[in-house]
Each structure stands twice: as structure tokens, then as C-alpha cells.
């Protein structure tokens, strides 16, 4: 898949090439406005197909940092550790505790500065609330796996969907069948709320911003192209290829 990111003046800001194997990402290559490689990312998986490492490299192959994902014996994420080459002695560590009251506690330790948050699961086993210091900061209403609304801090977003078409897989699938994993990897419900569904999002809007996406589809209903405008200004284009 090729993704192009545009500046507000219409100039290309960045181009990203996504490579896949067995419908899982294996490499992302990032190019600047001059189409020069700036850095790339490699993805590694366990023998069971769970994402276990994300490694970043400079354009000449020097390591920049890596993220290691660990799982418990139920294939739930137990920790996410980020180590940066520039400061290897200061890893960012997030650990997760699975509680008996249908919540998951996240303990985040960036360079020794600890913080915690709590994620709450709905009756379908999906994280739909995030609390920080006991305060609700993000909540999502779902129709099965589709977010309908998301309220994060003071902003509420509304989702609309194409009446046809779907992605062949979801972003969350790299973390296995335990649905909360994608939110835990991001340590953020707001960032990951729309990564459970494979349906095609046509619009995300709040009072200040509207992001509208249009698609062309192949005969199987999978997207061939996606074009996204933010407040009627071109923001992204995607071109998809399938093996």
C-alpha cells in the first residue's frame, strides 16, 4: 500500500510505502518531499502470528529504537517496552494488570516518571472507557466493532461508514483475537478506537473538523484507492494492491 500525506497548500509532505505478508505489515518505508528515504520500520511476529517487535532504522540502516510487546498465557498484552538508541538506559515501560472488575490497569513509566490509567470493558469485551486519576477522559459507543461516537476530553467525534466495501483485515488483527490488545498497545482508547473494524469509514466529524474519505473498490469490495479531505482540503491518498 502506498500512502501520500499532503500539506494544506497541496504540496506532498511525506510518502509511506506499506509492505505486507499474509495480511500483516512487515515493513514501512518513509520518504520526504523529494522522494528520499528518511527511515523505515520493520515488524516481527511470534510463531502464533502476534506482533512482538517494531524496529525503527535510519535511511542507512542504523538502529533508532525498538518496541517489544510481551503477552501472557492468554495472549493478552502484558507489557510494551520502548527503547531508543539515543537513550538506551531510559526505556519507556507500560505494564498491564487484568482486574476482576472488568477493568485493565495500565502503569506507564517514561524515564522513571510513573503514571497509571484504567480501561473499562463493555459487555462485548471491548474497551469503551478510559480513566486517568479516576476521571473519565475518553468514551466510545460501538455498534459491534464499529465506533459510532467518541468523546475524548472536550471533543466529541461522530463516525459514518460506506454502505459497501471493507478492508480484508483489521489493524487489530496483528495482536490476535483478544480485542483490547490494540488499545493496550497504543495505551490510548482515543488513538485506537477505530482499529477494530474492517468497515470503511466515510466520515469522522466534530464541530471544528470534518474528515471525509472516498473509495474505489475492486470486485471483492476491497478498496483500491482512498482519498481523505480534512475540511475540504486534501489530506491523504492511499493506493492498495493485493496479492
Query: At residue 121, does pLDDT exceed 90?
Result: yes
Q: Which residues contact 43 (CB under 8 A, 6 or more apart)?
A: 24, 25, 26, 27, 51, 53, 54, 55, 174
pLDDT at 79: 96
Query: CB neighbours (10 Å) of residue 111?
Result: 10
pLDDT at 9: 84
pLDDT category at 127 given cuts 50, 70, 90 is very high
Looking up residue 222, the CATH number of its domain turns out to be: 2.40.160
Query: At residue 17, does pLDDT exceed 70?
Result: yes
pLDDT tens string 138-179? 999 999 999 999 999 989 999 999 999 999 989 899 999 999
Measured in whole angstroms, the distance separating CA 90 from the mean position of its chain's CA atoms is: 24
Q: How far apart are CA 222 and CA 1, in angstroms?
A: 13
For 24, the domain range is: 2-239
Q: How far apart are CA 91 and CA 42, in angstroms?
A: 19
Mean pLDDT check: name the lowest of 8-17, 58-67, 181-190. Answer: 8-17
Task: For residues 122-126, give the mean pLDDT.
Answer: 95
Strands (E), 99-145: 103-110, 115-121, 127-132, 135-143
Query: At residue 110, does pLDDT exceed 90?
Result: no
Measured in whole angstroms, the distance separating CA 195 from the mean position of its chain's CA atoms is: 6
Q: How far apart are CA 103 and CA 237, in angstroms?
A: 37
pLDDT category at 109 given cuts 50, 70, 90 is confident
Under 8 Å between Cβ of 92 and 86? no
Q: How far apart are CA 196 and CA 174, in angstroms?
A: 11
Query: At residue 236, does pLDDT exceed 80?
Result: yes
Mean pLDDT check: name the lowest of 58-72, 83-97, 117-131, 181-195. Answer: 83-97
Query: At residue 16, does pLDDT exceed 60?
Result: yes
Q: How many domains does the chain have?
A: 1
pLDDT tens string 176-220? 999 999 999 999 999 999 999 999 999 999 999 999 999 999 999
| Mean of pLDDT over the chain | 94
Amino acid at each position: 500500500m502506498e500512502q501520500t500525506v499532503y500539506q494544506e497548500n497541496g504540496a506532498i509532505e511525506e510518502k509511506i510505502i506499506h509492505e505486507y505478508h499474509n495480511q500483516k505489515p512487515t515493513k514501512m518505508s518513509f520518504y520526504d518531499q523529494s522522494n528520499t528515504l528518511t527511515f523505515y520500520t520493520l515488524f516481527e511476529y511470534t510463531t502464533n502470528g502476534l506482533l512482538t517487535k517494531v524496529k525503527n532504522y535510519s535511511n542507512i540502516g542504523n538502529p533508532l529504537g525498538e518496541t517489544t510487546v510481551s503477552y501472557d498465557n492468554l495472549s493478552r498484552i502484558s507489557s510494551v517496552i520502548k527503547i531508543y538508541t539515543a537513550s538506551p538506559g531510559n526505556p519507556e515501560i507500560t505494564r498491564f494488570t487484568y482486574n476482576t472488575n472488568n477493568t485493565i490497569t495500565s502503569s506507564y513509566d517514561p524515564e522513571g516518571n510513573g503514571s497509571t490509567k484504567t480501561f473499562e470493558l463493555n459487555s462485548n469485551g471491548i474497551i469503551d472507557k478510559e480513566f486517568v486519576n479516576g476521571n473519565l477522559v475518553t468514551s466510545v459507543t460501538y455498534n459491534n466493532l464499529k465506533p459510532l461516537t467518541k468523546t475524548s476530553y472536550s471533543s466529541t467525534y461522530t463516525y459514518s461508514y460506506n454502505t459497501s466495501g471493507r478492508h480484508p483485515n483489521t489493524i487489530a488483527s496483528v495482536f490476535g483475537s483478544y480485542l483490547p490488545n490494540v488499545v493496550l498497545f497504543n495505551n490510548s482508547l482515543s488513538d485506537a478506537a477505530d482499529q477494530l473494524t474492517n468497515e470503511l469509514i466515510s466520515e469522522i466529524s466534530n464541530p471544528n473538523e470534518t474528515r471525509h474519505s472516498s473509495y474505489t473498490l475492486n470486485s471483492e469490495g476491497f478498496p483500491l484507492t482512498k482519498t481523505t479531505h480534512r475540511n475540504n482540503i486534501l489530506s491523504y491518498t492511499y493506493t492498495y494492491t493485493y496479492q
